[in-house]
Amino acid sequence: MPSDRWRGHKVELTGKGYVFSDTKESVSDTWKSRPCGHCGKKFTKEGHDACLGTLPRVMNACCGHGIEAEAYVQFDNGEQLDGAKAIEFIEKARSKDD
């Protein structure tokens, strides 16, 4: 976890672990109920990050939630894209669904 953000939300480390800076709620207890701090979208009904949706041939991915360097796409075959290349793939793959 980045030291100051989680899924686009500011977080801080306290004696009880990481908490969201705005609500002081535990990150580990409440992160699934919070929408993306960058785009404001909630998880899909399948449990995917709405920034991504369902991407073809992808094992896992992250859009970076506004931080390009944190974006990645990890494919089923073990290949990985990072940063701007990951965002470019995500945008192209999502545009096919729109």
pLDDT single digits (tens) 7-27: 889 999 999 899 999 999 999
Strand order in the sheet with 9-14: 5-6, 9-14, 17-20
Query: Is residue 66's pLDDT more than 80?
Result: yes
Looking at residue 97, its pLDDT comes to 53
For every residue of 40-60, DSSP letters joined together read -PPPPTTS--TTT---TTEEE
Q: Which pLDDT score is estimated for 2?
A: 41
Q: How confident is the model at residue 1 (pLDDT cuts 50, 70, 90)?
A: very low
pTM, two decimals, is 0.70
Tokens describing residue 78: 């073990």
The predicted model gives 28-34 an average pLDDT of 90
